[in-house]
A and B are shown apart, each in its own frame.
Chain A
Amino acid sequence: MNLSFLPPDMNWTCEPCGEKLQPGIVELQYVGSVFKVELPVCPKCGKALISEDLAIGRMLEVELLLEDK
């Protein structure tokens, strides 16, 4: 499974860090499961961007899957 969820448009800057978001590894948790995925991340503070497409697509799918486990 491809665990990289970088949006086509990476032209985002974290404020007030002033850093451009970079591909980074982020840990996501849900109902006892933990996975590492690649997302746009602020290199300074580590805050990650969850895009709309990801949230209403693959992420929702996995949430529902895990809830039924």
Chain B
Amino acid sequence: MEQKDLREWEARCIQEEPPACRAGCPLGLDAKGFVLAVRDDNLPGARAILEKSMPLAGLVARMCEAPCEQYCLRQSLGGSVAIGLLERMCINAVPAKTKFLRLPPRPKKVAVIGAGPSSLTVAFDLAKKGHPVTLFHLPGGPGSWLCKVPELVLSEGVLEEELQRLAGLGVNFCQVSVLGEALWTQDEFAAFYIGQDDEYVEGDLLKLGVPDSITFSLETERLFTGGLSVENHKYRFITDVSQGREAAVSIDRFLQGASLTAARVDLRHGKTNLYTSLDGLQREEVVVPADGLGYTKQEAIKEAARCINCECLECVKRCVYLKEFGAYPKTYARRVYNNSAIVKGNHQANKFINSCSLCGQCETVCPNDFSVATLCLDARRTMVQEDRMPGSAHWFALEEMRSARTEGALIRHAPGKDFSTSLFYPGCQLAGIRPQQTLRLYGYLQELDPATGLWLDCCGAPGHWAGRVQEFDEIMKELEEKWHEMGEPLVLTGCSTCLQMFREHLPQINVESVWVLLAEKPPESAKACAPMALSDPCTSRHDSKTQNAVRAMMEKIGQSLTPLPMSGELTECCGFGGLMQNSNPDLAKKVTAARVTQTSSDILTYCAMCRDQLARTGKPVAHVLDILFQDVAHPASEASPSISERRKNRRQLKSQVLSKYHGEQPKATEDWEAIALTMSPEVAEILEERRILEDDIRKVLFHVQQQGKVFVHGESGRKIASARLGQVTFWLQYTETDGSFMVESCWSHRMIIAGGSA
């Protein structure tokens, strides 16, 4: 990933866009942060947020007309959060900070003419930046129209206190009898601010002309102005303060010889790209202050609790994986970028990258189509290409794929035919998990069309998900060649993932889901069960045709379906997709558990992998085939087959097809296959968890029989043997009785033992 790509990724995630209230504040106040601090009874924290954005917070918080409230998303659900009242409560409750940080003094003097809100703002902002400021005011004292504000709204003491803060920042107050042109023609000042929210000599302001609407600079160099609101303007005070702030930014830039306009952020006037869902939000009325004037602390906390905490997180709130890593896609994109950019040190995002199920739900729910799947898959490909993909991350799934593509693979026309109108492609998971049902379904397809051939193979999805572009491309090429050799028939898949792989990577192949065909002609043996919730596999997300076909088929059969919230286009991964279960089994367990808790009904699915994965939680899960063919139905509560059984099932299915349909004697089994094993259920569970196949154990024992190398315990006589099989060394502790092996434990490691000496 290049830095340019990172920027593009980051720009897609809108989570850091400002909430509407902040976007609607002319000072850019973090209004949401402020309200949430009040809600959490953290008033000092709330005041600190006000001080951060407001000039003279004691004054601004009391006088601000709160234009932010007009953008509040709570508006239609009980009224906008009363941010203005909350600010006043907070500012009254928490004393001001006594010290302000002032930047080191700068040489050029600034004259601030007039003492209305805009001028006070300019004086405050520029004094904080270290500029020497002289504020010229009329004999009535600084404040202009603020001095006439009723005591109830702004007590005299407040203005006095704020003026003292200005003095504390080094602002020099200079009383003059009149405000007029003579003041902005003095030579000693490098810049002038003319605050029009005060009383001037008649006609003098007209000579100034109209200022630039962004920078508030006037045509005459050195002159800036603001405070232009008319007296009855709804947001008079805060608009003038905002104009003062913008002018202060310009004056600071002018004094430093910088551009007045470069990289200047325009006021947003409430506009933001942040998306916030209001789904499920209840109406709550605004809290009215009991005294009719202002909130008590308790009232304020109650009112602040109405804040809906605007944020997007559309993807994160639905995805266990995105939640697990504690952030959101914008941050994740940076982590992925850093992961590839670092030269030394740990690649800390490897786990994140390899844990994504690549299910694509995030992209579907994101208002901006951010695909974490694409981000992670690209990263995986780069890791493979740069030879830094952790060897253990996808190892077992890739071995499974390779096994299914060799010892489990078969492609044949129907018996007695030299062509196929269609080829049934059950997929390696259906073949491994439900071999008898696969055979039964194939039989039924032959009843419908005797020229239906069979293609047992793996579609290469694990290679694709693991980012192994070269290996996957080779698989696609092989599959295409085989399809050509078979006369280019229609391919009917029993697995949504296979269908997706064919459609996306071999578009020239005419492919369809077998469920679409069966929806037209369901077998007569089909029989409805108790109502179940239909879980669409994540690889069918954008395949509404298959999803609808399964539903239509169930309706025909009379099978009622209970609702499952995340279905169809919004469906969720079972925990296997994207090889999550290989790279992060603990997370996969959480994903699976979260999925099954979405319904109290039993689950029905048309993906063998989903059946296998979801059933591991103990939840009753049926496969569509259990409904279609009662004679070979499995109970929904049946445990999932082990990894060893799946391997064996694929081999046996292949043998059965060869003998049943083609009268061929299956190939002789490997020598090691005959080795007899026994083990307790606990040991079988350890094997499953450690992804050690019974085949591996047999191979180790066969190796021992050939090499004769074994460790024997001095007292118990139990043995330990090992063998390096591919990338892994397997160890086995066992006892041997009359040629039968009792497995006591088995473990493995990837490290290579280079040599040893005592």
Interface residues of A (CB under 8 A from B): 9, 11-16, 20-31, 34, 39, 41-43, 45-50, 52, 55-56, 59-60, 62-65, 67-69
Is B708 among interface residues, defined by CB-CB distance under 8 A?
yes
Which residues of B lie under 8 Å from residue A39 when comparing CB positions?
756
Partner of B346, one of A21, A41, A52, A68: A68
CB distance from B703 to the nearest CB of A (A): 13
Which residues of B lie under 8 Å from residue A62 when comparing CB positions?
751
What per-residue 1/0 map shows which CB atoms of B716-758 lie under 8 Å from chain A?
0000101000000101010000000000010111111111111
Which residues of B lie under 8 Å from residue A12 when comparing CB positions?
711-714, 720
* Residues B392 and A63 in contact, CB atoms below 8 Å apart: yes
Most chain B CB inside 10 Å of its own CB: which residue of A59, A63, A68: A68
CB distance from A30 to the nearest CB of B (A): 5
Is B289 among interface residues, defined by CB-CB distance under 8 A?
no
Partner of B350, one of A14, A24, A31, A67: A67
Inter-chain contact count A-B, CB under 8 Å? 112
Is B682 among interface residues, defined by CB-CB distance under 8 A?
no
Which residues of A lie under 8 Å from residue B345 when comparing CB positions?
69
* Residues B711 and A64 in contact, CB atoms below 8 Å apart: no
Q: Given A12-B711, A52-B731, A67-B390, verify A46-B747 contact (CB < 8 Å).
A: no
* Residues A41 and B757 in contact, CB atoms below 8 Å apart: yes
Which residues of B lie under 8 Å from residue A42 when comparing CB positions?
758
* Residues B756 and A63 in contact, CB atoms below 8 Å apart: no
Q: How far is the CA of A20 from the CA of B709 in the complex (A)?
A: 14
* Residues A28 and B708 in contact, CB atoms below 8 Å apart: no
Partner of B757, one of A25, A34, A52, A63: A25
* Residues A29 and B751 in contact, CB atoms below 8 Å apart: yes
CB distance from A54 to the nearest CB of B (A): 8
Partner of B722, one of A22, A43, A50, A63: A50
Which residues of B lie under 8 Å from residue A50 when comparing CB positions?
722, 729, 731, 747, 749, 753
Is B715 among interface residues, defined by CB-CB distance under 8 A?
yes
* Residues B348 and A30 in contact, CB atoms below 8 Å apart: no
- A-B pairs with the 4 shortest C-beta distances? A67-B390, A26-B756, A24-B758, A43-B758
Interface residues of B (CB under 8 A from A): 345-348, 350-351, 390-393, 690, 708-715, 720, 722, 729, 731, 733, 745, 747-758
Which residues of B lie under 8 Å from residue A60 when comparing CB positions?
749
Which residues of A lie under 8 Å from residue B747 when comparing CB positions?
50, 52, 55-56
Which residues of A lie under 8 Å from residue B348 when comparing CB positions?
68
Q: How far is the CA of A20 from the CA of B462 in the complex (A)?
A: 45
CB distance from A38 to the nearest CB of B (A): 10
* Residues A34 and B754 in contact, CB atoms below 8 Å apart: yes
* Residues B755 and A26 in contact, CB atoms below 8 Å apart: yes
| 30 residue pairs A–B, Cβ–Cβ below 8 Å | A11-B715, A12-B713, A14-B709, A14-B710, A21-B711, A25-B757, A27-B754, A28-B751, A28-B752, A28-B753, A28-B754, A31-B391, A34-B754, A41-B758, A43-B758, A47-B711, A47-B756, A49-B711, A50-B729, A52-B731, A55-B747, A56-B690, A56-B747, A63-B749, A63-B750, A67-B350, A67-B391, A68-B347, A68-B350, A68-B390
* Residues B757 and A46 in contact, CB atoms below 8 Å apart: yes
Which residues of A lie under 8 Å from residue B753 when comparing CB positions?
26-28, 48, 50
Partner of B749, one of A23, A45, A55, A69: A55
Q: Which residue of B lies closest to A9 (CB)?
A: B713
Q: Given A46-B755, A48-B756, verify A16-B733 contact (CB < 8 Å).
A: no
* Residues A59 and B751 in contact, CB atoms below 8 Å apart: yes
Q: How far is the CA of A52 from the CA of B715 in the complex (A)?
A: 19
Which residues of B lie under 8 Å from residue A43 when comparing CB positions?
757-758
* Residues B714 and A69 in contact, CB atoms below 8 Å apart: no
Q: Which residue of B lies closest to A19 (CB)?
A: B758
Which residues of B lie under 8 Å from residue A48 when comparing CB positions?
753, 756
CB distance from B688 to the nearest CB of A (A): 14
Q: How far is the CA of A9 from the CA of B722 in the complex (A)?
A: 18
Q: How far is the CA of A45 from the CA of B690 in the complex (A)?
A: 29
Q: How far is the CA of A15 from the CA of B757 in the complex (A)?
A: 16
* Residues B754 and A29 in contact, CB atoms below 8 Å apart: yes
Which residues of A lie under 8 Å from residue B755 when comparing CB positions?
26-27, 46
Q: Given A30-B750, A46-B756, verify A52-B745 contact (CB < 8 Å).
A: yes
Which residues of B lie under 8 Å from residue A11 when comparing CB positions?
713-715
Q: How far is the CA of A29 from the CA of B747 in the complex (A)?
A: 18
* Residues B756 and A13 in contact, CB atoms below 8 Å apart: no
Q: How far is the CA of A49 from the CA of B753 in the complex (A)?
A: 10
Q: How far is the CA of A12 from the CA of B710 in the complex (A)?
A: 10
CB distance from B341 to the nearest CB of A (A): 15
Which residues of A lie under 8 Å from residue B711 when comparing CB positions?
12-15, 21, 47, 49
Q: How far is the CA of A46 from the CA of B709 in the complex (A)?
A: 12
Partner of A24, one of B712, B733, B756: B756
Q: Which residue of B lies closest to A14 (CB)?
A: B711
Q: Which residue of A lies closest to B393 (CB)?
A: A67
Which residues of B lie under 8 Å from residue A20 when comparing CB positions?
714
Q: How far is the CA of A17 from the CA of B310 in the complex (A)?
A: 73
* Residues A55 and B731 in contact, CB atoms below 8 Å apart: yes
Q: How far is the CA of A21 from the CA of B733 in the complex (A)?
A: 16
Which residues of B lie under 8 Å from residue A31 when comparing CB positions?
391
* Residues A16 and B346 in contact, CB atoms below 8 Å apart: no
Q: Which residue of A lies closest to B349 (CB)?
A: A68
Which residues of A lie under 8 Å from residue B351 when comparing CB positions?
68
* Residues B715 and A15 in contact, CB atoms below 8 Å apart: no
Q: How far is the CA of A29 from the CA of B755 in the complex (A)?
A: 10
Which residues of A lie under 8 Å from residue B712 when comparing CB positions?
12-13, 15
Q: How far is the CA of A67 from the CA of B21 in the complex (A)?
A: 46
Which residues of B lie under 8 Å from residue A47 when comparing CB positions?
709, 711, 756
Which residues of A lie under 8 Å from residue B347 when comparing CB positions?
68-69
Q: How far is the CA of A24 from the CA of B758 in the complex (A)?
A: 4
CB distance from B388 to the nearest CB of A (A): 9
Q: Given A52-B733, A52-B747, A69-B346, verify A15-B709 contact (CB < 8 Å).
A: yes
